[in-house]
């Protein structure tokens, strides 16, 4: 008999909305940096696996600060220098590099950014000295079959605009220098051996997944034509979608980010020739302007977008979506239809993108967010599958040109391999 096992896990989610009602109209972005919140996940399990199996301890990797960055104006919101975690490659991967951009939402007002600069999402003073490398960052072949022995880097996120802003607010003592952080980090890593890379992959989760799209061609330009260079966006395909009240909550947030942090200076000119800067910050309008091979990994029912974009408290003042947002099993038929329409919009927005031979897709019908960083979703015995292929294998097949990968799941509830996130709203 098939049973469901519920585990408590720590996940990288760009915005969890526990306690969201207490912050008023600016709640969305004030809480949009919160990650590593404890939630639970339902996952498939056989009757012989009623107890969770012990997991090996992950590799812990030290924080390295880019001390020369401040002389280049490349600083976090509070003026401290940015940082990264690097685990050196070995063997056949010694000259291959994986750069993973951390996620953590955005700040779109002075108030939100001031709040954020006193956290690890706005200051290196608050960053952990060590973090675990799991999933796509793991150094174990049984956990990360294609990239385990590469040079693996996690670039910390402390600017609030997906590494793309370049401005300041002197009165609030805020530095919006995401673009400069990106450039300083790349210069630092090139000096540490990345300039010799024969293979390179830029990846990112959530706001970092959006950043991997924004910087994909810049990343590709760092290397010669003989190098294989590609990009992966995980949980970063944020849609300009209508919320449950008929408004556009995420467009309002993105508009604030773009204006406050002067993001338009670093968006594709070919997009800006056709659309306004806020529209060009949305991946659905940006991907057609990316020339470097790009892979989109996304849940069709992305829980961050459901909670913070489709049905935030500002659009659902009576809380009629609270039960559905906490657990998809509690959604009514009309709520589920709304989410199916969201999935259909996502599939429509990637239709032209998917027709290119160099692009890759893994769009599963799960209630999840950021599936490359968590070991159980990236590569494990019970990882999510599309046509019997886990995410890590799909990404590897695409990167190494072993197969064309255009994996799009059937609609919910057909996929019983999902690790669906369940939230406990206070």
In this structure, the number of other CB atoms found within 10 A of the CB of residue 193 comes to 15
* pLDDT beyond 70 at 40: no
Q: How many CB atoms lie within 10 A of CB 86?
A: 22
Residue 93 sits in which domain range? 57-408
Q: How many CB atoms lie within 10 A of CB 169?
A: 15
Six-digit token pair at 285?
Answer: 């309008």
- Which CA distances in Å does 266 have to 84, 182, 270, 314? 22, 11, 12, 30
Asked, for residue 396, whether it belongs to a domain, the answer is yes
Is 11 inside a domain boundary? no
Residue 38, pLDDT score: 40
Confidence band, pLDDT 50/70/90 cuts, at residue 36: very low
Known catalytic membership, residue 206: yes
Q: Which of 45, 206, 212, 309 is catalytic?
A: 206
Let me know if residue 239 belongs to a domain: yes
Evaluate whether 371 touches 234 at the Cβ level (below 8 Å). Answer: yes
Instruction: Give the active site residue among 302, 349, 409, 415.
Output: 302
What percent of the chain has pLDDT above 90?
86
Q: Give domain status of residue 327, yes or no.
A: yes
171-190 pLDDT tens trace:
999 999 999 999 999 999 99
Answer whether residue 222 is part of any domain: yes
Q: Are 376 and 382 in contact (CB under 8 A)?
A: yes
70-121 residue pLDDT tens: 999 999 999 999 999 999 999 999 999 999 999 999 999 999 999 999 999 9
On average, the pLDDT of the chain sits at 90
Burial 211-223 (b: 16+ CB within 10 A, else e): bbbbbbbebbebb
- Report the pLDDT value the prediction gives residue 44, as an integer from 0 to 100: 59
Q: Are 58 and 87 in contact (CB under 8 A)?
A: no
Residue 295 lies in a domain: yes
pLDDT band, very low/low/confident/very high, at 169 (cuts 50, 70, 90): very high
Whether 134 is in a domain gets the answer yes
Q: 53: which DSSP letter?
A: P
Is 126 part of a structural domain of the chain?
A: yes
The tally of domains found in the chain comes to 1
Q: Which of 134, 181, 194 is nearest to 155 (CA)?
A: 181
Q: How far apart are CA 75 and CA 124, in angstroms?
A: 9
In this predicted structure, the answer to whether residue 154 has a pLDDT above a threshold of 80 is yes
Q: Residue 395: which H helix or E strand, with range?
A: helix 391-399
pLDDT surpassing 50 at residue 389: yes
39: burial class by Cβ within 10 Å (0-12, 13-18, 19+)?
A: middle
* Candidates 85, 215, 328, 369; catalytic one: 369
- The pLDDT confidence band at residue 46, using thresholds 50, 70 and 90, is very low
Asked if 289 is an active-site residue, the reply is no
Across residues 214-220, what is the average pLDDT?
A: 98
Helix (H, G, I), strand (E, B) or coil at 73: coil
381 is catalytic: no
- Answer whether 163's CB lies under 8 Å from 101's CB: yes
User: What's the CATH number where 333 sits?
Assistant: 3.40.50
Confidence of residue 39 (pLDDT cuts 50, 70, 90): low
Q: Order of strands across the sheet with 360-364? A: 130-133, 59-65, 83-87, 151-155, 96-101, 199-205, 228-234, 294-299, 360-364, 406-408
Contact 206, 299 (CB under 8 A): no
- Which residue shows structure tokens 């961050």? 304
Model pLDDT for residues 79-88, shown as the tens digit of each residue: 999 999 999 9
- pLDDT band of residue 291 (cuts 50, 70, 90) is very high
């Amino acid at each position: 008999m098939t049973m469901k096992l519920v585990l408590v896990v720590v996940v990288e989610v760009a915005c969890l909305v526990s306690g969201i009602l207490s912050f008023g109209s600016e709640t969305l972005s004030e809480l949009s940096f919160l990650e590593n919140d404890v939630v639970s996940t339902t996952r498939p399990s056989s009757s012989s696996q009623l107890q969770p199996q012990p997991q090996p301890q992950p590799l812990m990797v030290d924080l390295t600060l880019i001390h020369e960055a401040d002389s280049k104006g490349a600083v976090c919101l509070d003026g401290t220098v940015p940082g990264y975690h690097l685990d050196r490659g070995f063997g056949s991967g010694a000259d291959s590099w994986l750069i993973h951009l951390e996620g953590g939402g955005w700040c779109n007002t002075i108030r939100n950014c001031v709040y954020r600069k006193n956290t690890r999402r706005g200051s290196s003073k608050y960053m952990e000295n060590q973090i675990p490398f799991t999933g796509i960052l793991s150094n174990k072949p049984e956990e990360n079959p294609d990239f385990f022995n590469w040079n693996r880097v996690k670039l910390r996120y402390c600017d609030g605009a997906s590494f793309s802003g370049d401005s300041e607010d002197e009165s609030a003592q805020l530095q919006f220098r995401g673009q400069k952080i990106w450039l300083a980090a790349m210069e630092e890593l090139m000096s540490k051996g990345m300039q010799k890379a024969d293979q390179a992959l830029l990846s990112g989760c959530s706001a970092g997944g959006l950043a991997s799209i924004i910087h994909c061609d810049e990343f590709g330009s760092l290397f010669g034509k003989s190098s294989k260079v590609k990009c992966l966006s995980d949980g970063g395909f944020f849609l300009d979608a209508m919320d449950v009240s008929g408004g556009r909550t995420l467009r309002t947030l993105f508009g604030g980010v773009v204006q406050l942090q002067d993001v338009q200076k670093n968006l594709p000119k070919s997009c800006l020739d056709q659309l306004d800067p806020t529209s060009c910050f949305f991946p659905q309008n940006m991907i057609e302007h990316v020339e470097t091979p790009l892979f989109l990994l996304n849940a069709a029912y992305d829980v961050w977008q459901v909670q913070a974009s489709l049905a935030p408290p500002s659009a659902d003042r009576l809380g009629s979506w609270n039960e559905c947002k906490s657990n998809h099993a509690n959604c009514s038929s009309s709520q589920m239809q709304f989410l199916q329409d969201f999935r259909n919009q996502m599939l429509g927005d990637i239709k032209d993108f998917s027709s290119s031979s160099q692009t890759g897709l893994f769009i599963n019908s799960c209630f999840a967010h950021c599936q490359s960083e968590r070991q159980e979703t990236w590569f494990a015995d019970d990882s999510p599958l599309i046509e019997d292929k886990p995410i890590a294998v799909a990404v590897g097949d695409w990167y190494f040109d072993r197969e064309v990968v255009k994996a799009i799941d059937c609609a919910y509830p057909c996929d019983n391999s999902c690790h669906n996130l369940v939230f406990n709203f206070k």
